[in-house]
Amino acid sequence: MNLKQQLAALQASMRQIVDGAKAAGREVTDAELSTLEAKATEAQDLKAKIERAEKSQALFDRAFKLPDDYSEDANGEVINHGSGRSKSHLALTGPAVKAAAQKIAPKLDATRKKSLLAPGTTELYAVPLQPGIVEQPRVPTSILELLPLVQRSVPKFQYNRQTGFDDNAAIVSPGQEKPLSGPTIEKVDGSLYVIAHLTAPVDEYSLEDYDQLGPFIASQMLLGLGRKLEGFVLSGDGTDQEGQAGKGIVGLLSGLISGVQVQAFVEDRLTTLRSALTQLETAGYEAGAFILNPLDWAAIETARATSGSFDLGGPIDRAKRQVWGTQVVTSTGVPAGTAAALDLDAVALDVDTAGIRTRWDASQGFTRNEVFCRVEGRFGLSVFQPNGIIQIDLAEG
């Protein structure tokens, strides 16, 4: 019997007591009144549980419910019948992370306080997703906001990577054999890796006294998780914190992904970026984003022409943070003097179906009235077309 059925049965039993007294032409007895009061309290608890369950389901649906043209393949992988990848993006920056923090922070009312302080209490929240390409004029603050997502139902999986294309299309006379063409495909092993961190102990009464302390801690933990994930996506060397190879994400600029193109420095930074676009376009790709270190982007924005004036306008759109008509995202995960250009269909961020896991735990700090918060998730990076990625040298001289 589900919660709504339990509530209906409880309400029916209460009506039966009241209707019985009315039919007998009397008031309810003290015993019946006590029963009604107990059942009323139970009914209120059930209503609260139903409301929480409905809110939880609504949050899950917003994060994970797929549009009509999405489905799962035989391996449980979420696919889109158009692009093959989800149009949602990971939102661990800006307003999105603040909204998520409000959801995962403990609400210290009478009900939640009890659950928060229970040893080992776990609360699970969906991966913060935002649908579609980031709207303008809001400038994306992380490449995570642009990368498409693939939700994986298992931690170990395989995907197809295109390593080339043999194009032999030709004019064929009647009766002649048609030439063979097609992409070169290889199977690649993929993995999801746990990225996690834990807070220092937090005083229980501080959480109770300051309503915004919980959301603040949660937002900082999510932002930290996002920064580290972005760093791994860009420059990860495939090792874990113990230095074990094969235990972490191999980043786009790690030099460990075969087939990634390279653009040498040409004249100046702007010309070099334009040359990288030419490489992508010549190979049949469309540039979706440049990723630059903030120092390199600042140098481009403040470059001066021979007249001494700032060399703005032309290829640079400062309001939209675009150069040569292509979105620029800055990240300290890219070393200064290095940049990247990529077709956003060439790569995808892998996530599991459970999302960001948040645990508020009071067990180990019980004697000191302390709680701990742990935030973690499982992530990976799939590179479908390495030729759609350009590693760019922006170092002058």
Q: Residue 98 above 70 pLDDT?
A: no
* Residue 43 CB burial class (10 angstroms; 0-12, 13-18, ≥19): middle
CA-CA distance, 23 to 28, in Å (whole number)?
Answer: 11
pTM of the model: 0.70
Percent of the chain at pLDDT > 70 equals: 75
pLDDT digits (tens, 9 = 90+) for 211-253: 888 888 888 898 999 999 999 999 999 999 999 999 999 999 9
CA angle, corner 119, sides to 117 and 121, nearest 5? Answer: 80
Q: Which two tokens stand for residue 205?
A: 């009464």
Q: What pLDDT band is residue 136 in, cutting at 50, 70 and 90?
A: very low
Least confident of 46-55, 82-91, 332-341: 82-91
- How does pLDDT run across 259-306, given as a tens digit for each residue? 999 999 998 999 999 999 999 999 999 999 999 999 999 998 887 655
The 10s digit of each residue's pLDDT in 115-129 is 444 444 444 444 455
Predicted pLDDT of residue 133: 44
Residue 3, pLDDT score: 72
- Extract the tokens encoding 80: 């889109």
- Interval 55-74 mean pLDDT: 45
Comparing 396 with 264, which gets the higher pLDDT?
264
- Scanning 291-378, the segments in alpha helix (DSSP H) are 294-301
**Which amino acid makes up residue 362?**
A
Residue 88 predicted with pLDDT over 70: no
**What is the Cα–Cα distance from 258 to 263, expressed in whole angstroms?**
15
DSSP string covering 155-220, please?
A: SEEEEEEEEEEE-------TTPPPPP-EEEEEEEEEE-EEEEEEPPPEEHHHHHH-TTHHHHHHHH
Q: What is the model's pLDDT at position 110?
A: 37
pLDDT band, residue 308 (cuts 50/70/90)? low
Handedness of CA 363, 364, 368, 371 (dihedral sign): negative
The predicted model gives 37-51 an average pLDDT of 83
Closest C-alpha to 374, from 122, 5, 117, 41: 122
Q: Which helix (H) or strand (E) holds 359?
A: strand 357-361
Delineate the domains of the chain, giving CATH numbers in brackets: 1-21+28-34+41-48 (no CATH), 85-165+182-393 (3.30.2400.10)
Q: What is the pLDDT of residues 164-219, one digit of tens each?
A: 989 999 999 999 999 999 999 999 999 999 999 999 999 988 888 888 888 888 88
Percent of the chain with pLDDT over 90: 45
